[in-house]
Amino acid sequence: MLRVEGDEMGRLADWVLGHRRIVVLTWLALAVVGGVLAPTTIDRLGFDFSTPGQPAYEANQAIVEQFGTGGGVDPLAVTVALPEGSSIDENREELAAVVDRLRQPGWRVASPLDEGAATDVLVAEGTAVVLVWPPAVEGPAPYAAALPQLEGALQGVTVAGVEPVVTGTPLLAEGGGEERPIIVEIALGAGGAIVVLALVFGSLLALVPLLVAAVAITTTFLLVLALTTVTDVSFIVQYLVGLIGLGVAIDYSLLVVMRWREERAAGADDLTAVRTAMTTAGRAVVFSGVTVAISLLTLVVLPLPFLRTVGFGGLFIPLVSVLVALTLLPVVLASAGRRLEWPRREARGSDSRAWRRIGTTVVRHRWVAAALATALLLLLASPVLGIRLGSPQVSAIATGSAPAATAFQELTGAGLPAGLVRPVEVLTEDRAAAVERLSEVEGVAGVLAPEGEAWQDGGTGLVDVVLADDPSSTAGREALTAVRAAADELPGAQVGGTAAGDADSVEAIYGNAWWVLPLVVVVTFALLAPALRSIWLPVKALLLNVVSIAAAYGMTVWIWQEGNLTDTLFGASATGTLTFWVPVAAFSFLFGLSMDYEVFILSRIREGRDAGMSTDEATVHGVAYTGRLVTSAALILFLAFVALSTVPVVDVKIFATTLALGILLDATVVRGVLTPALVALFGDVNWWWPFGRPRHRPAHAAPRHAQVAPRHARERSTRV
């Protein structure tokens, strides 16, 4: 059981302040090395979302091993515009020239001119499509090596005077090939943070949390680099380190710095203020950081390698941030904190009049506040009942005026199947039987089975099933399920492709890992209960976390899956599904991050209670002293996630939306209203602790800040 007593934190503060030079030089060295090697770290991150052991993964591996192309990578679609009213036969010669250019060694091609290629799914009025599977390479752009060769092959070739245009999910998924370094998102997040910090501190002290964040981020990148030497690490980790690291490190710094200012405002000297901040706020930082780390166990224990690496990479973020906040930050405050208060002349306490009024109002009208906040959260959470998981529909990523997006829009606008660019690949020992059986499946637009070595090898061959609807739509998923069931009837058949891989990923994450959530809840309760010396407070905190996260999910479903405000906010269309890894990844981070705020508030309420206040007085005291802190910290994290949402990848945008909405709801509705209302409602029940008597201190023994707060409350006529 983790127990961090005030004396232990005091001893840590004494050691750190007694070894200032060692502390500063150590962190400086780690930060510099981590910063210099950060580009190397990013270059070594991977883009593999595979699910080893799942049927589709095994099928895709077999397809690539035998034919060298396809499997877990969708084909490119070369679209050819036909003159209005003309047919394939009338343009056969020019179209054949295009197809011949595409038949490169090792490439697999399906064209309307191939026998057995289901011409009706590759040709519509005014448009013909040739599907091409070049060999793929590792990285964000699987066809990075093949695209220049393909474009060169098509150079100068036209049909009826119009050049072919290349589209397909590999081109559309990365925003049409747009790339930019992670430093852009970090700069955007840091810009928003400095504005908020300047408003909070009104002095150079605003730079201190950013300094802590910079050291924490660069050091974490160094640890991620070490992790890449033993396993593949997902590219998503760079965004988590850069932006969640920015928010978390600033959060922890805010808690310590504001407590330090509060102690100084009450008359303490610099060193005493640092030591008191460490024994109070520092203790809360430890529990908050460990809580975030525990929540990331959700990802570490899941059976998907890329999510495990996200969990391990994310695990470094809170732990490093805690270490920096508890070692480097006290040295900075003790050495230069008073000078950094410029241009302020006097230290300012953390008590907020506005939040004291809010706390008083909520406590006075606790039943109404609890009922309204609960009703709002349940309303926002209601869309989650219709959540669908998979990959975004292709129409959601085919937005804008880029040639690839326009070509896909014209392709579907001409009446070609929406599932054409994400065919289901079936490896079979009897191609003729497969074509006959799979063509009969409801929801299948056609089956591609061209002849040639690229499609047949010995007694095994490939057929590609084109679904009438996007595989991520409800109808498309039903058709995919039917195709897999029909393939089970064929001798030696294996079903692959990206759509089948998505379905297996959903099953792997949510079908076999139902025990992960209870595990995280139990471990978190075991951590918080002795820390708060209460049974009810951690139970309430856990329940509020679940409701808060459900509301964030619901709003994300409403915005992205259903397409409300998607175009206004992101210039995109409805995705029809949420990316399969987003809910579990968002849960892991939101659970820990939102618990931060709960720990901040409840720890301060607990302090007031220990100082001899009534439950109502302690609740108002806790809200008054943490309301501004929680609001500022949440706003900084929210702005960091807004910066994350500018990444030109739809999956990351959905993830960022969930995180941003979750933090915003949690810091306002949940922690600002529902938490104090419920604490006030349950009164003395909050403090039930069956494992020994609560350690209440008499009022005369309370620390300086606890003595001052009740008197301030009386002077302001705060009646609860």
Q: How far is CA 557 from CA 237, 356, 382, in A?
A: 24, 35, 10
Share of the chain above pLDDT 90, in %: 47
Q: How many Å apart are CA 586 and CA 382, to the nearest integer?
A: 18
In a 3-state reduction of DSSP, which class is residue 193? Answer: helix
pLDDT in tens, 454-494: 999 888 999 999 999 999 999 999 999 999 999 999 988 99
pLDDT in tens, 333-372: 999 888 888 776 555 556 788 899 999 999 999 999 999 9
3-state secondary structure 353-395: HHHHHHHHHHHHCHHHHHHHHHHHHHHHHHHHHHCCEECCCHH
Measured from the Cβ of residue 651, the count of other Cβ atoms closer than 10 Å reads: 20
Q: In sequence order, what are the beta bridge partners of 76?
A: 132
Share of the chain above pLDDT 70, in %: 92
Q: In sequence order, what are the beta bridge partners of 465?
A: 424, 447
Burial label for 238, CB within 10 Å (0-12, 13-18, 19+), is: buried
Whether 25 shows a pLDDT value over 90: the answer reads yes
Helices 182-201 and 615-644 pack at an angle, to 10 degrees, of: 150
How large is the average pLDDT for residues 132-152? 90
SS3 percent helix, strand, coil of the chain, rounded to 5, is 65, 5, 30
Least confident of 105-119, 614-628, 631-645: 105-119
pLDDT in tens, 35-86: 999 999 998 988 877 888 899 999 999 999 999 999 999 999 999 988 877 7
Domain ranges of the chain: 6-43+178-389+510-715, 63-175+401-507
Residue 463: CA atoms inside 13 Å, Cβ hemisphere, count? Answer: 29
pLDDT in tens, 291-341: 888 888 778 878 788 888 888 888 898 999 999 999 999 999 999 888 888
**Structure confidence at residue 692 as a pLDDT band (50, 70, 90):** low
* pLDDT at residue 680, as a whole number: 94
pLDDT in tens, 434-451: 999 999 999 999 999 998
* pLDDT at residue 599, as a whole number: 80
What is this structure's pTM? 0.85
How large is the average pLDDT for residues 217-245? 90
How large is the average pLDDT for residues 557-566? 94
pLDDT in tens, 152-198: 999 888 888 889 999 999 988 765 444 567 888 888 888 998 999 88
Question: Which long-range CB contacts under 8 A does 430-433 form with residues at least 24 apart?
Answer: 430/490, 430/491, 431/455, 431/456, 431/461, 431/462, 431/463, 433/490, 433/491
Tokens of 380: 């926002």
Name the DSSP letter for residue 468: S
Least confident of 256-260, 299-303, 417-421, 652-656: 299-303
pLDDT in tens, 193-223: 899 988 888 888 889 999 999 999 999 999 9
